[in-house]
Structures are given as C-alpha cells and as structure tokens.
C-alpha cells in the first residue's frame, strides 16, 4: 500500500525547463542588481561591477545543485544551459578576455560544474536510499 505524497515542483517540471528558468532568473538578477541597485548603492569601480556577477554565479550554482540533485542524469546539460549567456559572450564579445570580468564569469562556470557534480552524487545517494 503506497502513501499519497504531494510531489515537489522539481519533480513535475523537466530539468531543461528548470535550467531555462534559471537562465532567465539569473539574468534578471544580474541586470536588475547591476543597473537597478547600482545607482542606489553608489559603489563605483571594480567592486560595484563584481557584486552583480558574484550574485549571478551564486544563483546559477544554487539552482544547478537542486536541478541536478533531483535528476542526476541532467548533469550533462544543466550547467551549459544555465551558463549559456556567459558562453555566448565569451565567443562573440571581442573584449571579453581583455577585461578582468572574465575571471568572475569563468569562475562561475567552474563553480556551477563542481556544484552540479556534488548535486548528482547527492541525488544518486538519496534516490537509492528512498527505495524500500
């Protein structure tokens, strides 16, 4: 006899859709904080430019962890979809590698891949332990 449990939002939505929602949400955070709060906080220079990118990387890493933890097989495409804006800007933008902002963006790629690996391992271990 099975118990009736309500399913989580993460279990009902495919990982691709969650990764696209993460991409959109992280870009709103990046540009919203960079443009919107930048005038209120009045932080100029490198620190003012770095704060939105650090938050952007943290949002993507956190979302990658939860998405990949729910579906460990999605480790192959979730970090790529979530970071597609940075990947495209690295390819297309001619001044990407000249400025020091590439360190933050590429660091975010590394963090999201590491966190996705951790999420996949956590998802595999909980999936096995959930089975009776």
The pLDDT tens digits along the chain (132 residues) read 556 667 776 678 888 999 999 999 999 988 887 777 666 666 666 666 778 888 899 999 999 999 999 988 999 999 999 999 989 989 998 888 888 888 989 999 999 999 999 999 998 876 554 555
pLDDT of residue 32: 83
The maximal CA–CA distance of the chain, rounded, in angstroms, is 62
Give the span between the Cα atoms of 80 and 60, in whole angstroms. 11
Both tokens assigned to 82: 């979530």
Q: What's this model's pTM, rounded to 2 decimal places?
A: 0.81
Where along the chain do its domains lie?
14-130
- Nearest-10 crossing angle of helices 46-70, 101-130: 20
Nearest CA among 61, 51, 60 for reference residue 101? 51
pLDDT of residue 109: 93
Token pair 């595999």 is found at 124
Instruction: Let me know the angle formed at the C-alpha of 84 by 81 and 90, rounded to the nearest 5 degrees.
Output: 155
């Amino acid at each position: 006899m099975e118990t009736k449990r309500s399913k989580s939002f993460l279990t009902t939505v495919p990982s691709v859709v969650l990764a696209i929602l993460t991409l959109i949400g992280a870009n709103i955070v990046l540009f919203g904080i960079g443009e919107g709060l930048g005038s209120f906080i009045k932080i100029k220079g490198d620190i003012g430019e770095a704060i939105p990118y650090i938050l952007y990387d943290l949002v993507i890493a956190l979302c990658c962890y939860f998405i990949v933890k729910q579906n460990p097989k999605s480790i192959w495409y979730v970090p790529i979809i979530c970071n597609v804006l940075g990947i495209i800007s690295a390819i297309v933008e001619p001044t990407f590698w000249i400025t020091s902002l590439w360190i933050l963006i590429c660091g975010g790629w590394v963090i999201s891949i590491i966190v996705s690996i951790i999420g996949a391992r956590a998802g595999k271990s909980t999936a096995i332990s959930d089975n009776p």
